[in-house]
């Protein structure tokens, strides 16, 4: 068995370690989501935590880890009698990204359930993790329906398995820890909200600290047992502190003052719902217990806000997570002064609306601090300063020009790939999926996951006499079982091919182009798509962003996109074709939709237009769905973008039509061409 890296030997990452320890003290906090770049000890710290958790008492032989002092009356292995039980270490169970629903929640033996009426149940990972840690690495890559099941079980403390009228329920209370790299895609806001705390981690930029990280890691890799032994005293000390904090937790008093601070903070940051208030209250209580106190202080409320609120403030994938600490301090200070105000007497009316700034001249700085916020009334002069740089590139010639801001995004209609796919679950194009409406039945390939009851009965019925059926029960054999086929929606790869040449460099036009692409990126986020970005200008094309689930990364690359130079349209199309070829090897089931944003002009090299048309025909030959966004403007139009769409066997739409939310006709045109 591999010796885990000691938790107390992790260098830095104070917020990460604190968030994990608070959940160890009070699992009711709701788990931790750890966000950060690769190689920042996320997985190491989580795996090390399990060694610090106290041992748990379990009913001998129970597959669901029932507590012998209060066994679960609904345990599938029960009923159990109360007794001394057996001690075992707390488990840490890892949920792989590619796990199936049956592996997560457990599986029923459908054949025995139908033929014998027996609830033959094989426990899943949720049962294994009961009273321990459930760790999900790369939780943002987990299928949405598995995340839903996981978070529902974490919220209810129980797992339910329902199959064709047969149901099993068992306790599932665990410390949920998820890690993710935001560059690979974000979680939906509804799922983010279900994690109690969130922590942002990054590698230290301090050379001394980085040296210590390397030194400890090399020492651990050389002699894991000896290295762990050197940290045994620190590990025992933290384990004892966790046990003491758990014992103290019921005695911690959360006063009305702290509760009002929590409510005021959540209201000030406009957090949706009430879950944030509850999580902050539990976190502040755990912080007090961890510090060995029985009263919650303002510092506990502040720390709880820093851990519980940042991920609940995101409204869309382009919002940066985080919390304005100055605003947090101002809110807590303002509330504290409001609490003291009744004891100061009526003669203290003089401060008036500036009262919260208090002594020290704070009132002179408050308007400047507030000017950074969206609700400030004194920001009228700020946009002028920002806009003063806008016209600077307008006098430049054919060279590279400064990036321009995207116009305001708008809601788009659905673009979908024609036909029926079998890709990853999403919300864009029609596909055969594990979840959706039932469209038929087939023989199961591998384990049966979704029983089609009517088809199973129909397959078994003709053989009942031959099988010697005597009673009321139906004699069902494995060959009779039928898997339900279902139709839902899949996510696609939306590959943007954007013309950044000099012909596109007019500021107003490029701003509109970026706004349109940004709108489609928002749509791709909502529909669980992967996105990619290819740009072409000068003499070549570049992959600005390889296919990824991180649409906010695409938005950042789009915002900084420079323009100018010639128009190597053929190079852009060939680069996009190469990206699709490589991605097809990695993810063959995911279908692609190519969105070419250009005015159709092609310059540079011999016969640039003919080369572009030849490259476009490669997409048509591969059957790739495509849309051309025609950015040509002015009184004289060449119609080259429309010709490009014809060579692609796709659809063309003008930029004005796209911005006017008139993209609905594209779907019909794409589907008509495929028919």
The candidate with the shortest Cα–Cα distance to 590, out of 533, 529, 667, is: 529
In this structure, the dihedral spanned by the alpha carbons of residues 52, 8, 38 and 141, taken in order and rounded to 10 degrees, is 10
C-alpha span between 88 and 63 (Å, rounded): 13
Cβ atoms of 35 and 195 closer than 8 Å: no
Tell me if residue 591 is catalytic.
no
Residues with Cβ within 8 Å of residue 423, at least 6 apart in sequence: 429, 431, 490, 491, 492, 587, 589, 590, 591
465: helix, coil or strand? coil
Distance CA 644, CA 601 (A): 10
Rounded to an integer, what distance in angstroms lies between the CA atom of residue 168 and that of residue 122?
A: 10
Angle at CA of residue 250, ends 248 and 253, nearest 5°: 95
In order, the DSSP letters of 158-174 are EEEEEETTEEEEEE---
Q: What distance in Å separates the CA atoms of residue 601 and residue 589, rounded to the nearest whole number?
A: 33
**260: buried, middle or exposed (CB in 10 Å: 19+, 13-18, 0-12)?**
middle
Hey, what are 547's tokens? 């296919």
> Other CB atoms closer than 10 Å to residue 37's CB: what's the count?
13
Distances from the Cα of 278 to the Cαs of 20, 28, 199, 445, in angstroms? Answer: 18, 10, 18, 45
User: Are the beta carbons of 234 and 10 closer than 8 angstroms?
Assistant: no
Query: Which residues, 6 or more positions from 599, have their beta carbon under 8 angstroms from its beta carbon?
Result: 499, 503, 504, 630, 631, 632, 633, 640, 641
State the Rg of the chain over Cα: 30
ω into residue 136 within 30 of 0, thus cis?
A: no
- Among candidate residues 246, 275, 584, 637, the one labeled active-site is 275
Nearest to 133 by CA among 54, 219, 236, 204: 54
Rounded CA-CA distance 193/202 in Å is 22
Q: Where are the beta strands (DSSP E) in 589-635?
A: 592-598, 625-630
Q: What per-residue string of b and e applies to 141-179 under the rule 16 or more CB within 10 Å gives b?
A: ebbbebbebbbebbeeebbebebeebebebbbbbbbbbb
Please identify every residue annotated as catalytic: 275
């Amino acid at each position: 068995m591999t010796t885990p890296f000691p938790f107390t030997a992790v260098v830095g990452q104070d917020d990460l370690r604190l968030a994990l320890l608070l959940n160890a003290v009070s699992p009711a906090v709701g788990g931790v989501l750890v966000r950060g770049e690769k190689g920042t000890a996320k997985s190491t710290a989580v795996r090390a935590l399990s060694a610090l958790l106290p041992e748990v008492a379990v009913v001998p032989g129970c597959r669901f880890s029932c507590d012998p002092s209060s066994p679960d009356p609904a345990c599938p292995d029960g009923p159990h009698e109360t007794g001394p039980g057996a001690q075992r270490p707390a488990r840490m169970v890892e949920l792989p990204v590619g796990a199936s629903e049956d592996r997560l929640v457990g599986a029923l033996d459908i054949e025995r359930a139908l033929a014998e009426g027996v609830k033959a149940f094989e426990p899943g990972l949720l049962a294994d993790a009961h009273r321990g840690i459930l760790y999900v690495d790369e939780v943002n890559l987990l299928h949405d329906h598995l995340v839903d099941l996981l978070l529902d079980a974490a919220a209810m403390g129980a797992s339910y398995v329902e199959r064709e009228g047969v149901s099993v329920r068992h306790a599932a209370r665990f410390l949920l820890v998820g890690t993710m790299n935001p560059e690979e895609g974000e979680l939906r806001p509804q799922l983010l909200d279900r994690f109690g705390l969130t922590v942002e981690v990054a590698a230290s930029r301090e050379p001394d600290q980085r040296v210590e990280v390397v030194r400890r890691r090399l020492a651990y890799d050389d002699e894991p047992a000896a290295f762990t032994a050197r940290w045994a005293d620190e590990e025992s000390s933290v384990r004892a502190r966790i046990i003491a904090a758990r014992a103290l937790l019921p005695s911690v008093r959360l006063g009305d003052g702290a509760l009002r601070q929590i409510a005021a903070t959540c209201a000030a940051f406009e957090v949706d719902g009430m879950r944030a208030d509850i999580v902050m209250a539990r976190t502040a209580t755990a912080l007090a217990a961890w510090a060995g106190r029985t009263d919650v202080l303002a510092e506990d409320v502040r720390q709880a806000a820093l851990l519980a609120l940042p991920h609940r403030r995101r409204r869309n994938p382009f919002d940066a997570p985080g919390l304005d600490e100055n605003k947090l301090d101002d809110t807590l200070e303002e509330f504290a002064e409001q609490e003291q105000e009744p004891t100061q007497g009526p003669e203290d009316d003089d401060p008036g609306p500036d009262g919260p700034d208090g002594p020290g001249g704070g009132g002179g700085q408050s308007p400047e601090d507030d000017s950074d916020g969206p609700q400030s009334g004194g920001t009228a002069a700020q946009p002028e300063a920002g806009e003063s740089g806008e016209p600077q590139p307008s006098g430049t010639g054919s060279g590279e020009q400064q990036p321009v801001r995207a116009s305001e995004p708008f809601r788009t209609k659905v673009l979908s790939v024609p036909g029926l796919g079998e890709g990853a679950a999403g919300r864009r194009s029609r596909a055969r999926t594990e979840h959706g409406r039932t469209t038929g039945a087939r023989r199961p390939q591998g384990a049966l996951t979704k029983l089609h009851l009517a088809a199973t009965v129909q397959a078994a019925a003709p053989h009942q006499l031959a099988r010697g059926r005597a009673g009321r029960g139906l004699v069902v054999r494995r060959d009779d079982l039928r898997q339900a086929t279902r139709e839902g929606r899949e996510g696609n790869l939306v590959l943007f091919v954007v013309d950044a040449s000099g012909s596109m460099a007019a500021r107003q036009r490029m701003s509109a182009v970026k706004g349109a692409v940004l709108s489609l990126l928002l749509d791709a986020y909502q529909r669980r798509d992967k996105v990619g970005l290819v740009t072409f200008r000068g003499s070549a094309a570049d992959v600005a962003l390889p296919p990824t689930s991180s649409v906010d990364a695409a938005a950042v690359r789009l915002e900084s996109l420079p323009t100018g130079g010639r128009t190597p349209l053929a190079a852009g199309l060939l680069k996009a074709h190469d990206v699709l070829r490589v991605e097809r090897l990695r993810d063959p089931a995911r279908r692609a939709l190519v969105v070419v944003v250009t005015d159709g002009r092609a310059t540079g090299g011999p016969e640039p237009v003919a080369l572009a048309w030849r490259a476009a025909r490669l997409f048509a030959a591969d059957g790739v769905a495509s849309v051309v966004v025609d950015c040509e403007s002015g009184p004289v139009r060449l119609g080259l973008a429309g010709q490009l769409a014809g060579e692609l066997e796709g659809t063309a739409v003008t930029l004005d039509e796209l911005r006017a939310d008139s993209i609905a006709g594209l779907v019909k045109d794409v589907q008509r061409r495929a028919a």
